[in-house]
Amino acid sequence: MRPTEKPSQSRRSSDDKPFLVGPYPEDLSLGFVNTLSWRGRSEPVETLHSAADLFNWIERSEVLPRASIAEARNWARDHEKQAAHGFAKAIEVREALFAIFSAIAAGAGVAREGFQTLEAALTRAPHRARLVPMANGYAWSGPVRRITIDEVLAPILWSAGDLLVSAADRRIRCCANDECLWLFIDQSKTNSRRWCDMQSCGNRAKAQRHYARSRQSTGHASRRSSGNDG
């Protein structure tokens, strides 16, 4: 009787690499939403124009290994139509996240449509299967599959889901500048942060208030002067 043969340990192909996601900030999804800035203006400023821009943004976020992003770029080059469709879906998700978290920031209910868009995207993305020890900590490992836009979006979607679950304990805010509308988590001790950044929107608001008061004072002085002349 021949002994049972053990299966040969063949090398994994590039499609068999485990999908790893490193630590990500709890506001990663809000950062993704804010890739469209000055939402309150007639012409908002878009920073994502293609799948390549999305890959660059997630690379700067340092939540995926560079090898995974390189694989996603190769996939996009080989599947241009799929990449364009996936990018359109990513923008759809971004706008759904803005609707969800701006509603929470305003103390309003989350619209079902936005929630369903997030839910569908999470279904397409890989799931967090297990924790994997790494040289500098731990990472989430997802199902073994090729890296496409769905995988690149995964950490953003996981971040959004985590933030939505803990929304009652997080002070999610929308910048008080009606032209800005950036989303952020208020981590101030006084629970009173109103601006995405005090140096930009905060100082701009102060300058506008000062200008309005100056014009009002000038108007009052002008009317008093006219009355005295009469």
Instruction: Quote the pLDDT of residue 179.
Output: 92
Instruction: Quote the pLDDT of residue 190.
Output: 82
Instruction: Quote the pLDDT of residue 19.
Output: 85
pTM for this predicted structure: 0.80
d(CA 69, CA 56): 9
Nearest alpha-carbon partner for 103 in 167, 41, 31: 167
Higher pLDDT, 1 or 43: 43
d(CA 167, CA 39): 22
d(CA 9, CA 121): 35
Higher pLDDT, 129 or 30: 30
DSSP string, 137-150: EEEEEE-S----HH
SS3 state at 188: coil
Q: What is the mean pLDDT of residues 28-48?
A: 96
Summarised one tens digit per residue, pLDDT across range 67-126 is 999 999 999 999 999 999 999 999 999 999 999 999 999 999 999 999 999 999 999 998
Instruction: Quote the pLDDT of residue 33.
Output: 98
